[in-house]
Structures are given as structure tokens and as C-alpha cells.
Amino acid sequence: MTISFTFTKFDEHNCYTTEGKVINGSEKQFSHWWLQSSSHQRDELIVFRLWYRFVEKKAFWIKLMLMSKHGIESLVYEPGEQLGDVNLRCLEWNTKCTKEMLLKRDSMPNNTLSILAEVSLEDPLTMSEEKSRLILNKKMNNLLRMFIEEQLCDFKIIVDKREINTHKIILASESKVFMAMFDSDMKEKRENCLEITDFKYESIYAIVKFMYCHQIDDIEKIAYDLLALAEKYDIPELKLYCERYFYSILSKDNCLDVLQLAETYNTMFLKNSILKMVDDKWPELKGTERWKLLNQDYQELCGKLSANVKI
């Protein structure tokens, strides 16, 4: 909805308040708005206070614009997302406009100071989902901090004679293989230690960190290892993360390499995306050296491609 605030009296020495008028939107009965202006004592800025009250709690996004005779003059302020309440609330800010701009009455519509507020009301569910996301992010940040600072760790992974201290509950919650390991009488459970010899330290550290924050730094350097590890330790979120990465870099030059990877680790989303590209670029790919090598190891797959059969 659009709300208009008009100051028929306005100068740099006094405080004025005007009630907002909803000029566009169907939510006229759901809120009340007042805008107050006063001079900032220390500099050349004007202080605005936006008072508002809702009939029911609502989330809203707001920005305010200064009007001139020619339309919108400039953005006054964009406070962003706020929460409307049944109680009277206030937003306060220093306008980006100087006193000189606001006091040029001859440039204003009807020689009055006019400010428009664009207010977008949001579904309460959207606000609830956003709050849940913020809470989840905070929890993940706390868990990541505990991992980095090695707080209360109860399990270690040894790679290349280097230790990664971690938490069983995190590993088990993200990996079905670790869950099975800790739920049985395996050596690793008794000794609270796992030694890995078939992958390098950087790749193992990356997947362990991923289990805490679902992010990978510099994935392009270790992407192939990560997909293999996601398959080996049954980490669905990591597998999907890798699929999205390979999809983002997919091109005519690498599609056959990535296709081999997708076939090896059974990544259906990635595989189907590559097959479409191979189908589109078939005349350019057929007969290349890379195609011949792929055909040696994956004859059934290449046979179906050659016959133009959708897998």
C-alpha cells in the first residue's frame, strides 16, 4: 500500500507531526501511521520518526521517498523489514536529505513537504519461516564455532597423521555410515577414532566442516573427492551440494567427464541434465577422443546415447 504524508507547515526549528493517508491499497483499516519531523541539533540533517500501529501483528517492508513537483525526488530512507504490532511503535532515522533540500518549498507540490511511504505487507507465515531460518543459522554458527575451537569433542579422525576433532552426534546426524558405526560395536566406536587412508586431509576436513555448516570453501579444488566421499559415507546433503556445483559449471567441454562422474555415483539430477546437453551437442561430441575413452568403460551407457535412447 502507499501512504502519503504532507506537512503544510515545516521549518528547521520546530517539530511537526502529520497523519498518514493511505492513497493506494486495500489495507486501509489495518494500520495507522504518523510521521514526525524535527531538526537535528548537531548537523544539517532532519530527524524523522515514523509512528505506526496495526490492528493485528503483521510483517512489513517499507521505504520512504521525498516528492517534488516532478515526482519522486529522492529516497529518504529504506528501513527494510519491520514487525507491525497492535501497540504503538516508532522508527527513527536521520534523513539522507539535507535541510536545504527539504526547505526548498517552491520545488514541492503545492509548496508543501510531501513524503510517500511504500509499504509491502507480508504473510505472517513468511515472517515465521524467516525467523526459523535465522534461528537455524545461529545454531549452525554455534556448532561450527565448537568444531573450529574443538570444544567438547568426543571423536577424532586421523588423516595423513593429522587429527580432526569432532562430535559424534554431528557425524551421525549427517551421515548414515557414521550413524551405523556408532550404533554398533565397531572398533571406531570403542576407540572414538577413525583413520582414513584413501583421501587427503583437505577433503576430509571439508566434509566434516560441511556437516556443521552446509558450506564448502574452494569447492572447485576438491569437488571430485567430495562427491566420492558423499557416496562413500552416505551424506545426502553433501551429494546434492556437489551435484549443484557440477551443474553450475557444466559445458560442452566437460560434459562427458561429468557424465562419467554422474554415472559412477548415480547422481540422477546431474545425469539427466548432462544427457540433455549431450543430446544437443551430439554431432560435436561423437567421435572425440574423450567419447572413445568413455565408451570403453561405460559401453551400455554410451550404447544408449548412440541409439538416442533416454535413460
Please write the tens of the pLDDT for every residue from 240-278: 888 888 888 887 777 778 888 888 888 877 777 777 777
- Give yes or no: residues 197 and 252 share one domain: yes
DSSP element (H, E) containing 154: none
Block residue for cell numbers 554398533? 184
Number of domains in the chain: 2
pLDDT(311) > 70: no
Choice between 230 and 291, residue whose per-residue pLDDT is larger: 230
The answer to whether position 117 is within a domain reads: yes
State pLDDT tens for residues 41-82.
555 556 677 777 777 666 667 777 776 655 555 555 555 555
- Give yes or no: residues 255 and 290 share one domain: yes
- Give yes or no: residues 146 and 283 share one domain: yes
- Give yes or no: residues 118 and 167 share one domain: no
Torsion of CA 186, 189, 193, 194, to 10 degrees: 40
- Give yes or no: residues 258 and 177 share one domain: yes
Domain containing 64 — which CATH number? Answer: 2.60.210.10
Indicate the pLDDT class of residue 114, thresholds 50, 70 and 90.
confident
Which cell numbers in the block locate residue 225?
573427492
pLDDT mean across residues, the chain: 75
Which pLDDT value is given to residue 310?
46
Which pLDDT value is given to residue 40?
55
Q: Rounded to whole angstroms, how far apart are CA atoms 57 and 62?
A: 15
Which pLDDT value is given to residue 107?
54
- Give yes or no: residues 60 and 203 share one domain: no
Domain containing 209 — which CATH number? Answer: 3.30.710.10
Residue 251 one-letter amino acid: S
Residue ending a domain, choose from 73, 93, 122? 122
Indicate the pLDDT class of residue 196, thresholds 50, 70 and 90.
very high
Q: Rounded to whole angstroms, how far apart are CA atoms 232 and 224?
A: 13
The answer to whether position 133 is within a domain reads: no
- Give yes or no: residues 207 and 297 share one domain: yes
Share of the chain above pLDDT 90, in %: 22
Q: Rounded to whole angstroms, how far apart are CA atoms 148 and 78?
A: 37
Which pLDDT value is given to residue 76?
55
pLDDT(125) > 50: no
pLDDT(295) > 70: no
Most confident segment among 108-112, 171-175, 262-266: 171-175
- Give yes or no: residues 166 and 260 share one domain: yes
Q: Which domain holds residue 145?
A: 138-306
- Give yes or no: residues 101 and 35 share one domain: yes
**What's the whole-model pTM score?**
0.53
| Residues in the chain, total | 311
- Give yes or no: residues 116 and 210 share one domain: no
Choice between 258 and 140, residue whose per-residue pLDDT is larger: 258
- Paired residues of 160 in beta bridges: none
CB atoms inside a 10 Å sphere around CB 169: 13
Q: Which of 37-41, 48-52, 131-135 has the lowest mean pLDDT?
A: 131-135
Which pLDDT value is given to residue 104?
60
